[in-house]
Structures are given as structure tokens and as C-alpha cells.
Amino acid sequence: MTVELGMPGMPGTKIDRSTVDETGRLKLESLLRKGFSGDIEFGSGTRAAYASDSSNYRQTPLGVVFPRTAGDVAFALECARAVDAAVVSRGGGTALAGQTCNVALVIDFSRHMNAILELNVEEGWVRVQPGIVLDDLRAVTEQHDLTFAPDPATHAYCTIGGMIGNNSCGTHSVYAGKTVDNMISMKVLTYDGHEFEVGKITDEQLTELAGTPGRTGEIYAQISAIRDRYADAVRAEFPDIPRRVSGFNLDSLSEDGGPHIAKALVGSESTLVVVTEATLKLVPWPKHRRLVVLGYDDIFEAADHAPEFRRMRGIIGCEGVDEQLTIYMRKRNMHAKSLATLPPGKGWVLAEFGSFDEEDVDAMVDEAIAAAPGSPSVLVCRTPAEQKAMWAVRESGLGATARPPGEEPLVEGWEDAALPPEKLGEYLRRMTAIWDDYGYHGCWYGHLGDGCMHTRSNFNTGTIEGLRDYREYLERGAALVAELGGSISGEHGDGQGRAELWSKMFSPRLMQGFKEFKQAWDPRGRMNPGKLIDPFPLDTNLKHGPDRPHNPLTRTTFFFGDEGYSLQEAADRCVGVGRCRRTDTNTMCPSYRATRDEKHSTRGRAKLFQEMFRGEITEATWRNEDVKEALDLCLSCKGCKTDCPTNVDMATFKSEFLSHYYKGRARPREAYSLGMIRYGAKFASKLPSLANGVLASPVGKPLKAAAGVTTSRPAPVFAKQTLRKWLKQNVPAAAGDVVLWVDTFTNYLGPEAGIAAVRVMQAAGGKVVVPQEDLCCGRPLYDYGMLDSAKRNLEKTMRALRPAIEARTPVVVLEPSCLATFRDELLGLFPDDERAKVLSEIACSLPEWLAAKQSVVPSAGAGKRVLLQVHCHQNANGGYQKDVEILGALGYDVKVLDSGCCGLAGSFGFNAKHADLSKKIAEDRLLPMLAAEPDAIVVADGFSCQTQITQLAGREVRTIAELAAEAFAG
């Protein structure tokens, strides 16, 4: 046992129940390598990435394994037994009570054991491996109008195994219940190596199994005894509410017709068995749905009517949102259009209705509005797009509340209680009043129809005094829940965060029953020890406890907003939500999508930074090799800047880290050949034909290899005439009302877009002026941490653009990554410079300039289909709305590709080390989407996107400037 900051159990202590020292840990790894066919990762980088989940808790694992088969799982348990190592199962790692972090061997099912094994549409069930992501499962079953109903807000990246562990629920639990209510059977392994297939059995079968010789009979005999001994206590003490998740499911042992052993194991949070397969019930999924939004004076009044909402005919979802959540969203500019459509009120109910008959669902809506209690304001969302936009408000609850701009972070800890629906309003009022006693605040959102509303509060876990308040607050909350007949957890599970409070809810007799159930399955206590049964105190093993070192290493070059010049504080923006692990939409995180490796997700990298500053698992130094390795596959796409709910900007973290990592020593060769491409391009432009010839000849391969550049793709072709040279011949050096920024890529490699842009601006009435100095924003320099050079480039730029800055003359930037530099890195490097602020405001894209000028754009597209590939940096800094608007005005039928990052990402795909991964990322979504519409016009303004599409898809790529120029030319 490890103890820090006082005696065990005192606030701030670090406690574990591991019996494995470093020698035993290394022996465990050695044993695994003799017969485990999956991946084995015992390095400090992986252990750091898995030290915490989405909760307040942190414990260093012994190592992580990724099994391919159930045989691998059995072998891993055998190896763990040999050294007496604890074991914990893990899926998406989004647990909020510390149940997926422990000083144990972590078995991560999400990488390989994630398949659908069997689907029976006629009987309505599916058999799956535990690592399958919920939405991946539903994408298959919903083709047959069937679904697995529990759907937490993390549905796009949580796994079925994790849902079984937590007994997850979600928006549609009012329709079909919790995970336990949809469980048919499971295959499980005990720590001592016995495999069971568990499900519904009769009393006679239980008696027969209890009499079986060996371990099987022993377990079933104990189960039978526990059922008989505690059935009366279970009936008396288990609250009869929709969302009782706290406590083992001993009620499932007393079902009519016999015990359901699988259901009894659901919600046990890896403390009893390891699940290797699950057979799940599927329910009909109505084709036609409507969303009714009801506005009330406050969330308390809305909650008072929870029982009435539950009784509405056809209701399949009933969620609540309070005004404070919308305030946080507006501060962060989240879902502004959806918020603007909310009906009047300060507390809203989102009631979803579903049917297989469209007329019927419309009748349900009419009935609901007529019967809506309390005379609320009403909005009906009828189309799927309207419904998706409104549901985004509810699903953004955690992200919007975690890091409110300009405020202290709000954290979990007491966010999951469930009450009888008729007591929900009283609970919310009384709990909000308790906030005032401690100076806490938060907001309410969640599953109003089921009596389970979430919140996060400004707990101070960093001091002994703050932890004492925290403990007292949680104890008062648990007492209130027990008084009102509720459950301490209604969805997220109890883990370490709330298991200590079970005694507030259950009698000593029933607590003994839980311990005996644990003993039956795990007599050695090696399954996730310290969670649920004999739990670690709730104020120990904290990620941000009093023992957290404040070790900024040094002041950063970048300014990180609310976090100042501290990368340590900026890395703490990551609260482990795990959205960077989703693979179905948006940009974040391309390297995770290609590798399925936690270290190469935004969350994994952020956790490595957090651990680097702590200095326990991985070294506290800017020369940290674990962090360097994790960042090596970061494409700097900036998808996380917008897709991450807490706006972790890993591209900036990477630039900052590399600037320190390489300080005082040489960078790798590709940093100079690719990071300083401007200078190489400038040299090549003197004799472009010779440069192109050499690079395309047999001599080109060894030259590229020597520079660290891939030889698997052709080099970009240097233009015969640079854009700057054309501009000198065709644009007079005179005063104007719009500045054209001449970037490196357009100047040397794609001048056609620049020429087209000039013609468009002139046709639209603009008087174009071009800076006379040879300027560069330095975009490629950031990828290699060359921040001193980047700052010099930006300082030179601001001096040269002084007349435009003082006059606030628009600066049109054609390359999206350069525009993003002016809107992002410029402000981060010069946060107090008024010139930088103005330049960030006057810099714009060509479509933005056209829209602002309100120029009449000729319609010439004649409805032709356009596939628009949006550059990642554009998506992260300003968006692409004006691109769609201008293309539409030109007469094109525009489809924005939801393809994520193209995979080239500036110099990333030209780096020899990354070329294969770059191609794999493109093959994931972009190339199939292009192949699906071979006759469409492909449009991309980013030079990286153009190059990737041309080289890998063989498609011609146009820019918006070129299409607009053709339209203006008639």
C-alpha cells in the first residue's frame, strides 16, 4: 500500500491495494509475452495515458493489454494470478467515478474485441464483444428498425462493455430502461479462471447448479444462499424508481420464474467478473420521431411535472435543460442557432415522441401539447435536422459546464443522483440550497423524465480544507437522496466516488449481502479492488488533490487564455470526455482513428502532458520522450480546437512542447526541409523547370530521402511563374481597399488560385493592393516548434501591414492554414499587441470578403454538384459557412464532405515517417466519399487537401476563386 500526505483515508492520501512491486510488474509483462496474441503495452507512456479516466481519480496501472480473443483474456487472468495482480476491464474510459483506473492490469477491449458476432432480427437480439462502440452497433441494427435502447451522451464512443459495467441508461431509458433491462446473457470469466455463460435460469436449475462439484457449484450455492438470506431486505430497501444504479443487482436474483444471473452482474463495474461476450435485447426503433420543447419559468417547475411527462402517450425521451447551461453555451459560442430557437423560459423539457406511423406521431405531439402541464411555451422540431440541432444542446452538457470561460472549472463528484420522478423538483431545490452553504454553483441538465438530473460544481479538491467541505457536501447529498427514496447513482456508477456513501442508502444487513456477493465471485479480492466493496475513501487517489505538483517547468511562449502562460493548466482542460475517440464524424482525432491507440488521441496526449508535469510515471522534463512519441503522430489539424468539448488545442500544445524539446539542439532533417519549405521553394522558383525535373528524375528519390521526405509520393510541382511575379506585371502598386495576402503555397505552387482571386476581387469592385515585401506567416514552422522564427515572421508581417491595420483594410488570405495563423497563433504569440488583434479581425477568406462586400455573384453553376472538402484549420478558426453561401450563389449544389482530415496536413504526409499513416487517414473516409460521386466537381481551397485528393484519388480539384472567376468572366 502506498500512502502520501498523512494517514490512510485522510484527505489527500494516495492509496492502493496492489500486492505487486516493480519486480512483479515486470514478471507479469514477461509472462504475458509468452502466450498473449493481442497487444501488450507496459511502457510509461501507455501507463500515463491510462492513469485516469473522466473522473476526479487517478491510479497508475501495472500495464495495459488489448486482447484479440477470449482466450487472450483467459491467459491474461492466468498471468495476473501468477503474480497476484489486480485486474480491471476498460472500454471507452469515460467513467465518472474512478471505476476504470486502478493499480492493476488493465484489459482494454476497445481496440480488437469489438465485433458483432450474431444478429437475430426475427427474435430481436444481438450477440457482441464488449469493445464494440454503441453507435457502431446501432448503425447495423437500426437498418432493421431495431436498436439497443440505452444511449448515454457518449453513445458515439462508449462501448457496450463499459455500459454493462456501469448499467448505463441515457436519453431513451424512459422508452426501454437501463442496460440491465436489455440484458439476455453474458459469457464471463472469474479471476480464478472459470468461464460461465450466465443468463436467466429457473429455481430448479439454480438448485442443480449449486450441487455441481467444484467452483461452479460453489458460486451458485453462494448465490442461492445470498438470494434466500437477503431477499426481504432487497424488497424493503431497493427504491422502486426508474434509475436505481447504486448497489449490486441482488433484486435480479429474485425475479419471477427464477434468478437472472447476467442481470445481477450488470453494473458491477469490473469488481466481480470479466465480460467477454454479451447477448442483448433489441427493441423496435420508431422510424418517425418528433421533438417537442417545452419552456418553463425554471428547471424546478419543469421537474415538478416529471411524472406527467412520463405518462404521455408515445414518449421515448424526456430530458431537461436549465438556463445556466444555455448561459455557459453562449459564453463558448456553442450551438448558437439552436439556442436562439428555444421557446421562452428558463428551464426546458425536451420530449421526444416516436411511432412507426407518421400520422400517429403527429397525433402524439398534438396530444402532448394539449396536455402539457403548467402552460409552457412550445416549440416542435419536426425534421431530423431540427431535432439533431436541438439534441446537441442537451448532449453538450458536460462539455459546456466543464470549463466555463473566465470561471473556475466545474467538476463531477455529485452529478448522478436519481430520485422518484415525483420528488425530483423537491430534490433539485433542496440540493441547490445546499450549494449556497459551501459557495458551490452549477447547473442542471439530464434525464428529467427518469428523475436523474446531472450537474457539475466548483469543488475545491486541491486543499485539505476544500476536501473536507467536499466530503461533507457529498454526505449531505447522499442523506437527502436516501430521505427522498432515491439512488446515489442513477447512471454513472459509484466506483470510488460514491461507493463509500452506500451505507447512507442501504442498511448494514444489505451491505453485508453485497460483500458476500463480491466474495462469491472474487474471493481473492483482485477484481478492481477499492471500488464498490471496501472502497477507497472518496477523497483519496485524486487527480487534482493536494498532492498535485504545480510544476510549470517554465513560462510558455504561447498565451493560453484563461490558463495564462501555463501549459500545465492548459492541459488540464482535458477532463477525459473521450470525444476524440469517435470515428463517425467531424475532424478529431485523425491519428486515433487510424491507430486506435489511446496515446494518439487528443485525450491520451493531454493526459501525458498532465503526467509529465506530475513527474511520477513519466519524467518531468521538456525532453520527455513519452510525450514526444505521442505528439509525433499529431497532424496539427486543430480538429480538437473545435470538436473537443473543452477545446483542447493539441496543435498549439505540440508547437509549445517542441520549442522546448529542441531548445539548444538540432532538429531532425525534415524539420528543415519541410518546416522551412518557404526558403526551399524560393530557391527552386529561380529555375522551376530544373527543380521539377530533378525531383521527378531518379536523382530525386535519394535527395528526398536524405531530406526525410517520403519517396512514395511525387513532390509538388513548382510553378513556371510565381504569383508574386504575375502580380508585379498585372496589379499596379497603388493604394487599394483590399489587400491580397501572398502565401508561400499559392505563390510558388498554385498561383492559378491567386490570379483567379485577383480577377474576382476586381470584378466585384475591389481595388487590390499587394504588400511589396516578401512576407510569410510561418505556418509550417509551428509543426516543428520553431516559435522564435515564427514570431519574427509575424512581427515582420505586422510591420509591413501597418497601413492596412491602421485603416482596417480587409486582408484576403487564400490559404486556410495561413488565415488560421492570423486568427489563432498570432493572438497566442502576441496576446497584448493591438496590431495582432486588428489583423486577426481584418484577415478574411475570399468568400468572406465577397459576402461582406455584398457583391452580386453571377450564377453559373447550373445546379452542378460540388463536393467541398473543408480544410481542418478553416473548420477550427472561423468555419466554412461563407464558402457554402458563395458556392450556392454561384449556382452549385453544394455538399460539404464530412470526411475529417484529409491526412496530408501540411508537411505531415510528406514526412517519410508518416506517409503510410497519411494515406490510411485519407482511405478512412475522404477517398470513399469522393469515389461515391465520381462526376461531382471537387472543391478545396487548402493546398494540402488539393494535393492529397489529386495524388490519392486522381481527381481534379478546383478552388472557389477559380469557379468564381469563371462565373465573373461569363
Does the pLDDT value for residue 2 go beyond 80?
no
Question: What pLDDT, on the 0 to 100 scale, is given for residue 958?
Answer: 98
d(CA 609, CA 218): 47
Average of pLDDT values for 730-748? 92
Helix, strand or coil for residue 415?
coil
667 contact partners, CB below 8 Å, separation of at least 6: 675, 784, 785, 786
Q: What is the dihedral of CA 696, 700, 705, 711, to 10 degrees?
A: 20
Q: How many residues does the chain have?
A: 970
443: cis peptide before it, omega within 30°? Answer: no
Span 528-555, pLDDT tens digits: 999 999 999 999 999 999 999 988 888 9
Poorest-pLDDT segment among 402-416, 473-487, 717-731, 888-902: 402-416
Span 182-223, pLDDT tens digits: 999 999 999 999 999 999 999 999 999 999 999 999 999 999
Span 457-509, pLDDT tens digits: 999 999 999 999 999 999 999 999 999 999 999 999 999 999 999 999 999 99
> If pLDDT is split at 50, 70 and 90, which confidence band does 13 have?
confident
Does the pLDDT value for residue 917 go beyond 70?
yes
> If pLDDT is split at 50, 70 and 90, which confidence band does 855 have?
confident
Question: What pLDDT, on the 0 to 100 scale, is given for residue 108?
Answer: 98
Question: What pLDDT, on the 0 to 100 scale, is given for residue 5?
Answer: 35
Does the pLDDT value for residue 521 go beyond 70?
yes
Sort 786 into a burial class: Cβ within 10 Å, 0-12 / 13-18 / 19+: buried
In order, the DSSP letters of 332-343 are: TT-SHHHHHHSP
Q: Which amino acid is at 943?
A: F
Q: Which amino acid is at 673?
A: S
Span 258-289, pLDDT tens digits: 999 999 999 999 999 999 999 999 999 999 99
**What backbone torsions phi and psi does residue 396 show, to the nearest 5 degrees?**
-90, 10
What stretches of 400-448 adopt beta strand conformation (E)? 445-447
Contact status, residue 922 vs residue 902, Cβ threshold 8 Å = yes
Average of pLDDT values for 879-889? 95
Span 749-804, pLDDT tens digits: 999 999 999 999 999 999 999 998 999 999 999 999 999 999 999 999 999 999 99
Residue 260's closest CA among 342, 184, 153, 192? 184
| CA-to-CA separations, 309 to 72, 227, 373, 453, 577, in angstroms, rounded | 47, 36, 8, 15, 30
DSSP annotation of 718 reads P
d(CA 673, CA 663): 19
Helix, strand or coil for residue 636?
coil
**What backbone torsions phi and psi does residue 738 show, to the nearest 5 degrees?**
-150, 135
If one counts every other C-beta atom within 10 angstroms of the C-beta of residue 35, the result is 12
Residue 191's closest CA among 529, 419, 457, 601? 529
Poorest-pLDDT segment among 225-229, 361-365, 391-395, 624-628: 391-395
DSSP annotation of 711 reads S
Question: What pLDDT, on the 0 to 100 scale, is given for residue 8?
Answer: 47
**CA within 13 Å, CB half, 135:** 14
331 contact partners, CB below 8 Å, separation of at least 6: 404, 405, 406
Percent of the chain at pLDDT > 90 equals 91
Question: What pLDDT, on the 0 to 100 scale, is given for residue 7?
Answer: 42
769 contact partners, CB below 8 Å, separation of at least 6: 731, 733, 734, 735, 736, 737, 738, 739, 740, 809
Element (H or E) spanning 591, and its range? helix 590-595
- 41-48's contacts with Cβ under 8 Å and 24+ in sequence apart are 41/65, 41/66, 43/626, 44/617, 44/618, 44/626, 45/599, 45/608, 45/618, 45/626, 45/627, 45/629, 45/630, 46/598, 46/599, 47/617, 48/607, 48/608, 48/611, 48/612, 48/617, 48/618, 48/626
Q: Which amino acid is at 325?
A: L
Q: What is the mean pLDDT of the chain?
A: 95
Question: What pLDDT, on the 0 to 100 scale, is given for residue 9?
Answer: 57
Contact status, residue 775 vs residue 742, Cβ threshold 8 Å = yes
Residue 609's closest CA among 645, 643, 660? 660
Span 98-140, pLDDT tens digits: 999 999 999 999 999 999 999 999 999 999 999 999 999 999 9
Paired strand residues for 183: 280
**What backbone torsions phi and psi does residue 105 show, to the nearest 5 degrees?**
-80, 120
